Amino acid sequence: KRNDIGSTASCYAKAYLGETSLGGKAMRAFPADMLTVNGYLGTDGIKPFVEQILAHDKSIFALVKTSNPSSGELQNLKLENGEYVYERMGALVEEWGKDTVGKYGFSEVGAVVGATHPEEAENLRGKLKNTFFLIPGYGAQGGNAQMLKVCFDKRGLGGVVNNSRGIICAYKKPEYAGKKYFEAAREACVAMQRDLSATIGKMS
């Protein structure tokens, strides 16, 4: 989760998504396809990333409604116009991505929308028609397929579900006791895939 003001954001954007000049040679410093960014600084902190997205066919996800317990302290404050802070951030994300919408109708500037806050997720899915969601909070943080299905549109599209600790640390769970690390991780992946496709696959 990176960000800074314009000039430094530009260097971050080039380092992660684009190319950096090193000894006169264009090099890819950290060749990533996607990066999570924080939009608290506003448009001039995000624009440099959008430039690299357009130049190098990359994507970013901006924090909108995060999965952690106290995310509402700032994100769920109500503005004088009746909007919530997270809704405003979502609207900025939709705006930042508008020149990068692809054939499925989603832009390259996505939103982080936690599986642990289904009400806000449903609200955002209804408003941000062109924004793809990165959905953390599944597994270790308590999110499940029922909770996060609201992040997907009627076609069953619109999001990717992230699960880190639930897979990496599966071998520590009682239900995988005695299994090797990689066996437990594989089984946790398969279980997650079944859970998600049974729920989201049913949408039409």
> Which are the catalytic amino acids?
1
Distance CA 8, CA 28 (A): 17
Burial tier of 199 (Cβ tally within 10 Å: 0-12, 13-18, 19+): middle
DSSP state string for 22-53: ETTEEE-SS--SEEEE-GGG-HHHHHHHHHHH
Please report whether residue 41 would count as binding a second copy according to CB under 8 A.
Answer: yes
Please report whether residue 7 would count as binding a second copy according to CB under 8 A.
Answer: yes
* Contacting range for a second copy; rule: CB under 8 A; set: 18-26, 59-67, 150-158, 182-190: 59-67
Please report whether residue 168 would count as binding a second copy according to CB under 8 A.
Answer: no
With respect to a second copy, which residue has the nearer C-beta, 141 or 199?
141
Binding mask 97-126 for a second copy (x = CB under 8 A): ------------------------------
Q: What's phi and psi for 169, nearest 5 deg?
A: -100, 15
Distance CA 84, CA 98 (A): 21
Task: Provide the CA 70 distance to its chain's centre, in angstroms.
Answer: 18
Binding mask 60-99 for a second copy (x = CB under 8 A): ---x--xxxxxxxxxx-xxxx-x--x--xx--x-------
Residue type, 67: S
What residues line the site for a second copy (CB under 8 A)? 1-7, 38-45, 63, 66-75, 77-80, 82, 85, 88-89, 92, 136, 141, 165
